[in-house]
Structure 1
Amino acid sequence: MSEQLQEDLSKVIAELEKKCKEHPNSVMAFHHLGLVYMKAGRIDEAIKALETAIEIDDLSCESMINLGAIYFGRGNLEKARKLNENAVKVQPENAQAHTNLGLIYQQSNELDKAIASYEKALQCDPKLANIWMNLTSVLTMKGEDERAEKAARKGLELDPDSSLGHNNLAVALYFNGKYSEAKEHLDKAKELGYSVDPKFAASLAEKLG
Structure 2
Amino acid sequence: MKKQIIIALTFSICAFSFAQKKELKTAEKAIKGNNFAEAKAALKQAEALMSSMDDKLKAQYYYLNAETLYANGAGSIKDIDAALESLNKVQGSLDSEVTTLKQTMVNGILTKGNSYYEKKDFSTSSKYFEKAYRLSPRDTTFLYYAAATAVNVQEYDRALGLYEELKALGYTGIEKQYYATDVSKNEEEIFANKDIRDMSVKTKTHTNPGQRLSESKKPEIAKNVALIYVSQGKDDEALKAMKDARAESPTDINLILSEANIYYKLGNIEQFKTLLEEATKMDPNNPELQYNLGVISAESGHAKEARAYYQKCIELNPNYINAYINLAALILSKEEPLIKEMNGLGNSKKDDLRYEELKTQRQELYKDAIPFLTKALEIDAKNISAAKTLMNIYNIVGETAKFKEMKVKVDALEAAE
Q: TM-score range by the shorter chain?
A: 0.7 to 0.9
Give 1 or 2: higher strand fraction: 2
Once residues 168 and 61 of structure 1 are traced to their aligned partners in structure 2, the CA distance between those partners, rounded to angstroms, is: 37
Unaligned runs of 5+ in 1: 1-5, 194-209
* 2:290 counterpart letter in structure 1: H
Once residues 305 and 379 of structure 2 are traced to their aligned partners in structure 1, the CA distance between those partners, rounded to angstroms, is: 24
Matches within 5 A, 1:172-191: 172-174=393-395, 176-178=397-399, 179-181=403-405, 183-184=407-408, 187=411, 190=414
- SS of equivalent residue, structure 2 residue 251: coil
* 1:93 counterpart letter in structure 2: N
Once residues 165 and 13 of structure 1 are traced to their aligned partners in structure 2, the CA distance between those partners, rounded to angstroms, is: 45
State the partner residue of 1:156: 377
Matches within 5 A, 1:109-148: 109-142=301-334, 144-148=365-369
Once residues 266 and 412 of structure 2 are traced to their aligned partners in structure 1, the CA distance between those partners, rounded to angstroms, is: 34
Query: How far off its partner does 1:23 sit?
Result: 4.6
* Aligned residues with identical type, % of pairs: 24
Once residues 273 and 302 of structure 2 are traced to their aligned partners in structure 1, the CA distance between those partners, rounded to angstroms, is: 12
Change (3 A) 1:192 1:137: farther
Once residues 391 and 262 of structure 2 are traced to their aligned partners in structure 1, the CA distance between those partners, rounded to angstroms, is: 33
The answer to whether the 8 A contact 1:68-1:84 is kept is yes
User: RMSD value over aligned CA atoms?
Assistant: 3.1
- SS of equivalent residue, structure 1 residue 151: helix
Once residues 323 and 255 of structure 2 are traced to their aligned partners in structure 1, the CA distance between those partners, rounded to angstroms, is: 22
Change (3 A) 1:108 1:32: same
* 1:12 counterpart letter in structure 2: A
Once residues 397 and 266 of structure 2 are traced to their aligned partners in structure 1, the CA distance between those partners, rounded to angstroms, is: 37
Larger radius of gyration: 2
Once residues 395 and 240 of structure 2 are traced to their aligned partners in structure 1, the CA distance between those partners, rounded to angstroms, is: 47
Once residues 224 and 299 of structure 2 are traced to their aligned partners in structure 1, the CA distance between those partners, rounded to angstroms, is: 28
Number of corresponding residues: 189
Change (3 A) 1:192 1:172: farther
State the partner residue of 2:161: 14
Of structures 1 and 2, the one scoring higher in RCO (CA 8 A, sep 6+) is 1
Query: How far off its partner does 1:117 sit?
Result: 0.7
The answer to whether the 8 A contact 1:106-1:114 is kept is yes
Once residues 258 and 287 of structure 2 are traced to their aligned partners in structure 1, the CA distance between those partners, rounded to angstroms, is: 14
1:44 equivalent in alignment to 2:191: no
TM, length-normalised to structure 2: 0.40
Give 1 or 2: higher helix fraction: 1
- Equivalent of residue 267 in structure 2, options 71, 75, 78: 75
Change (3 A) 1:7 1:87: closer
- SS of equivalent residue, structure 2 residue 155: helix
- SS of equivalent residue, structure 2 residue 333: helix
State the partner residue of 2:184: none
TM, length-normalised to structure 1: 0.72
- SS of equivalent residue, structure 2 residue 309: helix
Change (3 A) 1:29 1:145: farther
Unaligned runs of 5+ in 2: 1-152, 173-215, 336-364
The answer to whether the 8 A contact 1:65-1:83 is kept is yes
State the partner residue of 2:283: 91
